[in-house]
């Protein structure tokens, strides 16, 4: 009689990989801070976050318990949003997650977070003054031997017929595009790889028949990459 030996093997279990969930859960730790007219809203990724989850930030001019008042002010995958306001009217904020055409609950789920910006209108100069912006410019070149900078612009407050005169007393390596205008660009040319050009430019502003004079400074730098 032939004996048949059977080997009993232990049972084998294989975990089934979890499928990508469909609906996201609500974002966590929603927080709103106010510094003057700047409002920053931040939140943390939800515990259930399907692939491609994005976030929506909603605002309303009064309590978000009135859903018809909501308006979408941000949609994307960032977990923060900086807002700037020029009014001090209160408003309310909520956030929710969105993925695969499914939405999480709003956070907070009832009335939203109340926010009151502290906007202060800039003071208007009462006397004559002149300012220039920006104060400094940098331009990096890749393959070109020349480039044009951004514009520097002079603003005159409480003037009548201002006269502008741009000049560079130190170097002729950078040209002034519009030496007699309130706004001008600057041009560098003939730059070899690894070469740089820099200059400090001045704009003399004369107004009210020469009674008011200002001298404004702008620094300009060009660099051609090696």
Q: What is the pLDDT along the chain (226 residues), one digit of tens a residue?
A: 455 545 555 555 555 545 566 889 999 999 998 887 788 899 999 999 999 899 998 888 766 656 667 788 888 889 998 887 666 677 888 999 999 889 999 998 877 888 887 766 666 667 888 988 888 776 766 677 888 888 999 999 888 899 999 998 766 688 999 999 999 999 988 888 878 888 889 999 999 888 889 999 888 888 887 6
Task: List all residues 6 or more positions away from 184 whose beta carbon is below 8 Å from its beta carbon.
Answer: 151, 152, 166, 176, 177, 178
In the numeric block, which tokens belong to residue 179? 């030496």
Half-sphere exposure (CA, 13 Å, Cβ side) for 172? 0
Cβ-contact 173, 201 below 8 angstroms: no
Pick the CATH number of 28-115 from 3.40.50.150, 2.40.400.10, 3.30.450.20, 2.60.40.10: 2.60.40.10
Please give the Cα distance from 172 to 188 (Å, whole number).
10
Residue entry with tokens 């309303």 = 60
Q: How far is CA 174 from each of CA 31, 146, 177, 184, rounded to the nearest angstrom?
A: 49, 10, 10, 12
Assess whether the previous peptide bond of 158 is cis (omega < 30° from 0): no
Please give the Cα distance from 98 to 195 (Å, whole number).
50
Q: What is the pTM of this model?
A: 0.47
As assigned by CATH, the class of the 129-224 domain is: mainly beta
List every span in the chain annotated with CATH 2.60.40.10: 28-115, 129-224
């Amino acid at each position: 009689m032939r004996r048949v030996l059977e080997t009993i093997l232990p049972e084998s279990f294989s975990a089934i990989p979890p499928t990508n969930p469909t609906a996201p859960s609500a974002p966590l730790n929603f927080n709103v801070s106010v510094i003057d007219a700047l409002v920053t809203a931040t939140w943390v990724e939800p515990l259930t976050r399907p692939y491609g989850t994005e976030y929506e930030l909603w605002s309303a001019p009064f309590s978000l318990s009135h859903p018809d008042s909501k308006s979408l002010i941000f949609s994307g995958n960032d977990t923060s949003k900086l807002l700037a306001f020029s009014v001090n009217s209160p408003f309310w904020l909520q956030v929710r997650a969105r993925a695969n055409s499914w939405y999480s609950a709003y956070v907070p789920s009832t009335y939203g977070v109340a926010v009151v910006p502290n906007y202060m209108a800039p003071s208007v100069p009462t006397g004559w003054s002149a300012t220039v912006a920006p104060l400094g410019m940098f331009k990096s070149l890749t393959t070109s031997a020349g480039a044009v900078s951004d514009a520097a612009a002079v603003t005159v407050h409480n003037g009548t017929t201002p006269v502008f005169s741009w000049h560079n007393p130190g170097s002729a390596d950078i040209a002034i595009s519009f030496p007699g205008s309130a706004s001008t660009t600057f041009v560098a040319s003939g730059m070899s790889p690894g070469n740089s050009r820099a200059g400090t430019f001045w704009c003399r502003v004369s107004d009210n028949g020469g009674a008011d004079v200002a001298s404004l400074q702008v620094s300009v730098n060009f660099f051609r990459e090696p």
